[in-house]
Amino acid sequence: MSAQDVGSIRKAYHEDLVILIVEDHMIFCKEARHALPQHKVVLARSVEEAKEQYDDCLPNITFLDIDLPDGDGFAVLDYIRSQDPSAYVIILSGSKLQDDLNAAQNKGAQGYIIKPFTRSRLEYYINEYMKFREQNIKSAISEIENHRFKAVKSTTGDKLYPDSS
């Protein structure tokens, strides 16, 4: 089992969601943290800090600003995708440019929130993540069951119940 698999399994079974918010404006960080009191919220204010925090906390969801003081949030999205292709990332930006919306979609972001955001928009994407996570868990269980069935079948042949005679 790869480190990526372990990380994905660990993320899937967090009792409380871990949410990484990558945002350089402290007011938006505080608003997001205030809007999500039932979850563990981790903050990052730069590209480098975002990468470090992502690796340290393995968030369930990342809300990611595009314009950061030390670089482009899309570089963070690329980094996250390289670490975990199934990561759940929502762009959180003041940009209404169609090019940014298209880039976010093409790079695999699951959503795009234009600032200022509302609590209900954050909650919407958290609920969407919960559906996404449930589907991933069901898929993983199905894959495990198929593997187990094939393993049993290979050791017993086509007979799942050997003759008792």
CA 105 – CA 94 distance, rounded (Å):
16
Q: What is the predicted pLDDT for the residue at 29?
A: 87
pLDDT digits (tens, 9 = 90+) for 84-118: 999 999 999 999 999 999 999 999 999 999 998 88
The secondary element (H helix, E strand) that includes residue 6 is helix 3-12
pLDDT digits (tens, 9 = 90+) for 44-86: 999 999 999 999 999 999 999 999 999 999 999 999 999 999 9
Nearest CA to 86 out of 32, 9, 1 is that of 9
The residue type at 13: Y
Please enumerate in sequence order all residues whose Cβ is within 8 A of that of 46, keeping only pairs 6 or more positions apart, or say none: 24, 68, 69, 70, 71
3-130 folds as: Rossmann fold (3.40.50)
Q: Which residue has the tokens 């205030």?
A: 34
pLDDT digits (tens, 9 = 90+) for 124-161: 999 999 998 888 888 888 888 888 888 877 776 666 55
Q: What is the predicted pLDDT for the residue at 70?
A: 95
Q: What is the predicted pLDDT for the residue at 136?
A: 84
Domain positions in the chain: 3-130
